[in-house]
């Protein structure tokens, strides 16, 4: 049952919001939370983060005039309230093909600016936008960056702050949405610092006490006054440490502010806007505010959800076993066998499956925050020190640490294993979450070895093989979702698994990881046309196996099917290897085109880019017929 018409239905733009009487804002906030729970429970999406920023987003759009003023959301998963307040009320197809994106989208609205959902970039974007406004003679146009305490753990944020600090007249407001969490509780020195800033509430209470106590006491001389004044100054030095951080950098600081007191947030934002210079507004919010299942969710399952029962917060369907589970369980087993095994995560302990390892071996898990670059270089140091680190990240986030993989892990022959979750087409999270670049960037790292398991059994066996390598980086990548049914090899041929045999084959089909089932179906289509095909899984796909080169000498055509960028992935590496070996077989590569992919289900995306058995088979038969 849908929600009854109410105050939210009257808001189609920020102008409507600004005309709304202040005394009606609490009602609006309640309706927005009710809408989010009702809608997102039907479609799935990021529920907890958006419930936490309702009053903050309302205040932002009442104080600043988007799109004249620019509001940049870091990561963007907390932009649902922003979408509602800028006229987008149809959430029925959220994150689905043809529906609203789960992140800001320029195609949807002029109010949306940054579409990339990679964290810690908002401050750099905001400084650039604000600087452009100044250079264009538009200093009246303000720029606001909304960044979470989790994203502030990323080094790029601090590179930006370092530059923003010298921009004394830049009309830039940085809103720190401090909820003590990203996917999980924020850790590290910054988290400790923000926790200290939260104690300023205690300082303000003590300050009120001091003002009352000192009232009527002479300000000149007097032991009582001097003592009380000294105590007050001492308290400030202890519990007001932003004086020694943000303001000492030259950036004004306002806060901390109760992020669920809309009037207080508005007041703080108006003060910040009036400064005419960079200013940080520290807003304390509660992730999952107003929805008890989210507040009770210590494991942060409500950060991003599938379809759930809104009454209980429980999923309607019991989740099946996913690829991540295979990695997670095997890591625990390996931890017992290998005391030198250390796991590293970048603020994603649970999503990448390291939570079980952390429970058993808490001293051997390191969460660096949203700092993939640091994770990789530190892992190289751990390897030098005699440990074998496993760096587990989403495939899309490996991009952020490529230099460290190349120059720290690769150049130094570091025995570091990278485990890339959500590799290939992920679908509903859109362009910046598809893990379609990893094999391309890994392919140019000298000495690196990359495997793509075809099923859960191979995840376990190839992880074991990876951590046995101590003189070069190794990579294991697998997709999002339910793990594939086991595919038993017909036989082994050198380092390869033969999945479908053929006598005197005309075509060699190389299936890469999760595309092995597709390769088998393509072989069936070819054989229906009288073309015999041998299907192999190289298991370790980079560098290209000598066994692939050997088999390629016996056929006229080699087909590589992968869920990676087709122009520079395994297929391209195979063509290069065969060319170097003077193999005459023609290479046909099928993968992801060099373009950013619209959000849709994985199946819909694969269909749209032609990476399905029917399309590949049809195209391949036409090509082979043309070269017969």
Residue 374 CB coordination number (10 Å): 18
323-477, what's its fold? Rossmann fold (3.40.50)
- Binding annotation: 77, 117-119, 149-151, 179, 291, 372
Strands, E, within 90-209: which ranges? 143-148, 172-178
3-state secondary structure of 293: helix
Task: With beta carbons less than 8 A apart as the criterion, state whether 606 and 479 touch.
Answer: no
- CATH code for the part of the protein at 492-626: 3.40.50.920
Q: What is the pLDDT of residues 352-391, one digit of tens each?
A: 999 999 999 999 999 998 889 999 999 999 999 999 999 9
pLDDT on residue 102? 86
pLDDT on residue 316? 65
Residues of the chain with CATH 3.40.50.920: 492-626
Distance CA 133, CA 352 (A): 40
pLDDT on residue 232? 39
**Is 168 an active-site residue?**
no
How buried is residue 319: exposed, middle or buried, by Cβ count under 10 Å (0-12/13-18/19+)?
exposed
Distance CA 80, CA 339 (A): 45
How buried is residue 233: exposed, middle or buried, by Cβ count under 10 Å (0-12/13-18/19+)?
exposed
pLDDT on residue 370? 87
Strands, E, within 109-247: which ranges? 143-148, 172-178
Nearest to 372 by CA among 403, 348, 396, 398: 398
pLDDT on residue 115? 86
Q: Which residues contact 609 (CB under 8 A, 6 or more apart)?
A: 425, 592, 593, 597
Task: With beta carbons less than 8 A apart as the criterion, state whether 86 and 111 touch.
Answer: yes
Sign, CA dihedral 327-331-333-337, equals: positive
Which of the four CATH numbers 3.40.50.300, 3.40.50.2000, 3.40.50.970, 3.40.50.720 does domain 7-199+242-295 have? 3.40.50.970
3-state secondary structure of 559: strand
pLDDT on residue 309? 67
pLDDT on residue 130? 93
- Binding annotation for Mg(2+): 149, 179
Residue 339 CB coordination number (10 Å): 10
**Is 372 an active-site residue?**
yes
pLDDT on residue 118? 84
Distance CA 598, CA 115 (A): 12
pTM of the model: 0.84
User: Which residues does the chain have with pLDDT short of 70?
Assistant: 1-5, 181-248, 297-302, 304-305, 308-309, 311, 313, 316-319, 628
**Is 594 an active-site residue?**
no
Phi, psi (rounded to 5 degrees) for 581? -90, 5
Residues of the chain with CATH 3.40.50.970: 7-199+242-295, 323-477
- Binding annotation for thiamine diphosphate: 77, 117-119, 150-151, 179, 291, 372
Distance CA 187, CA 182 (A): 10
Q: What is the pLDDT of residues 596-614, one digit of tens each?
A: 998 888 899 999 999 999 9
Active-site residue identified among 62, 88, 133, 400: 400
Active-site residue identified among 287, 364, 449, 460: 287
pLDDT on residue 313? 67
Distance CA 595, CA 611 (A): 14
Distance CA 304, CA 351 (A): 10
Q: What is the DSSP letter of 247?
A: G
Active-site residue identified among 262, 372, 449, 602: 372
């Amino acid at each position: 049952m849908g929600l009854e018409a109410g105050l939210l239905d009257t808001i189609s733009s920020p102008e409507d919001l600004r005309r709304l009487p202040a005394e009606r804002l609490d009602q609006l906030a309640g309706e927005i939370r009710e809408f989010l729970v009702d809608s997102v429970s039907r479609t799935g999406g990021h529920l907890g983060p958006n419930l936490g920023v309702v009053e903050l987003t309302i205040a932002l759009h009442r104080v600043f005039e988007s799109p004249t003023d620019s509001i940049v959301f870091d990561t963007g998963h907390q932009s649902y309230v922003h979408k509602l307040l800028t006229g987008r009320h149809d959430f029925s197809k959220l994150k689905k093909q043809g529906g609203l994106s789960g992140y800001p989208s320029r195609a949807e609205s002029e109010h949306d600016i940054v579409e990339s959902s990679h964290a810690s970039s908002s401050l750099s974007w905001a400084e650039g936008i604000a600087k452009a406004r100044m250079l264009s003679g538009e200093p009246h146009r303000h720029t606001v960056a909304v960044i979470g305490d989790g994203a502030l753990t990323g080094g790029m944020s601090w590179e930006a702050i370092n530059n923003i600090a010298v921009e004394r007249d830049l009309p830039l407001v940085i809103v720190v949405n401090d909820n003590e969490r990203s996917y999980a509780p924020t850790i590290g020195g910054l988290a400790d610092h923000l926790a200290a800033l939260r104690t300023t509430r205690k300082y303000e209470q003590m300050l009120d006490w001091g003002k009352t106590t000192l009232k009527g006491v002479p300000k000149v001389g007097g032991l009582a006054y001097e003592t009380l004044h000294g105590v007050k100054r001492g308290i400030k030095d202890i519990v007001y440490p932003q004086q020694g951080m943000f303001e000492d950098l030259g950036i004004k600081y306002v806060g901390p502010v109760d992020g669920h007191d809309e009037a207080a947030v508005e007041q703080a934002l108006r003060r910040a806007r009036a400064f005419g210079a960079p200013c940080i507004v520290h807003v304390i919010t509660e992730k999952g505010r107003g929805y008890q299942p989210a507040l009770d969710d210590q494991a942060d399952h409500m950060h991003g959800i599938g379809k759930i029962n809104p009454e209980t917060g429980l999923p309607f369907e019991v989740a099946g076993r996913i690829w991540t589970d295979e990695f997670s369980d095997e890591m625990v087993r390996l931890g017992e066998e290998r005391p030198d095994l250390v796991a590293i995560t970048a603020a994603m302990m649970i999503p990448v499956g390291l939570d079980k390892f952390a429970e058993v071996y808490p001293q051997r898990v390191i969460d660096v925050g949203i700092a993939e670059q640091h994770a990789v270089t530190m892992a190289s140091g751990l390897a030098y020190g005699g440990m074998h680190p496993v760096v587990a990240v989403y495939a899309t986030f490996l991009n952020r640490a490529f230099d460290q993989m190349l120059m720290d892990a690769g150049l130094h022959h570091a025995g570091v294993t990278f485990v890339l979750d959500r590799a290939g087409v992920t679908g509903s999270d859109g362009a910046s979450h598809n893990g379609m670049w990893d094999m391309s960037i890994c392919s140019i790292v000298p000495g690196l070895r990359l495997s793509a398991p075809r099923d859960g059994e191979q995840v376990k066996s190839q992880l074991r093989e990876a951590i046995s390598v101590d003189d070069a980086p190794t990579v294991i990548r697998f997709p999002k979702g339910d793990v594939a049914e086991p595919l038993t090899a017909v036989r082994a041929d050198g380092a390869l698994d033969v999945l479908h045999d053929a006598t005197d084959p005309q075509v060699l089909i190389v299936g890469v990881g999760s595309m092995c089932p597709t390769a088998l179906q393509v072989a069936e289509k070819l054989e229906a046309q009288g073309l015999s095909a041998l299907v192999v899984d190289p298991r370790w796909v980079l560098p290209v196996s000598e066994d692939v080169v050997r088999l390629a000498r016996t056929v006229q055509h080699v087909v590589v099917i992968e869920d990676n960028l087709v122009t520079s992935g395994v297929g391209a590496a195979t063509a290069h290897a065969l060319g170097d070996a003077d193999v005459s077989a023609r290479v046909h590569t099928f993968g992801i085109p060099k373009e950013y992919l619209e959000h849709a289900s994985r199946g819909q995306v694969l269909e749209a880019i032609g990476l399905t058995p029917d399309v590949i088979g049809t195209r391949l038969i036409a090509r082979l017929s043309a070269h017969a």
